[in-house]
Amino acid sequence: MVSPIKRPDWDEYFLKLTFLVAERSTCRRHHVGAVIVKDKHILATGYNGAPSGCKDCLELGCLREELNIPSGQRHEVCRGVHAEQNAIIQAAIHNVNIAGATMYCTHSPCIICAKMIVNAKIKRFVTYKDYADESFKKLFLEAGVEFVQLPLPKLEISLLL
């Protein structure tokens, strides 16, 4: 008998995980999750929010919202650390080599994160959604980082009990 459940391929599987990671976000504007993977093994995860041990936007309110700053602009005003940055930082804290890895993320990166991705030697970036800033595309092309944009995965868990 054929199973009624479609098993996700690896890209869809890891991209779906980014949405679970994003649930930890403390940002009031966008919940973003990132997962770094190499050889089908999760190396690190990250979500966007205030630096560890600091008050976040859920508690203090959003500075960017208060100042009416659009997405993709004036990153220095935000108190949050981006999901991609947190995933790279987690790998560094735990001495995990992410060179040659794939980063899966709920959104495409801002230019600041793109620079970090290039310098971390991540070779592939997979997402489903465009961020307001598309300047990363030229950098990724120049640096040889493959950019893959997939359709939104089915965001429900399918299993047989």
Known catalytic residue: 84?
yes
Q: How far apart are CA 93 and CA 96, in angstroms?
A: 8
- pLDDT of the residue at 1: 66
Tell me the pLDDT tens digit for each residue of 96-123.
999 999 999 999 999 999 999 999 999 9
Span 66-91, mean pLDDT? Answer: 87
- pLDDT of the residue at 3: 67
Q: How far apart are CA 131 and CA 84, in angstroms?
A: 13
Amino acid identity at 62 = C
Tell me the pLDDT tens digit for each residue of 22-54.
999 998 888 999 999 999 999 999 999 988 888
Share above pLDDT 70 across residues of the chain, in percent, rounded to a whole number:
98
Q: Is the pLDDT of residue 63 over 90?
A: no
- Overall size of the chain counted in residues: 161
Asked whether the beta carbons of 150 and 126 are under 8 A apart, the reply is yes
Predicted TM-score (pTM) of this structure: 0.91
Check 76, 84, 134, 156 and give the catalytic one.
Answer: 84
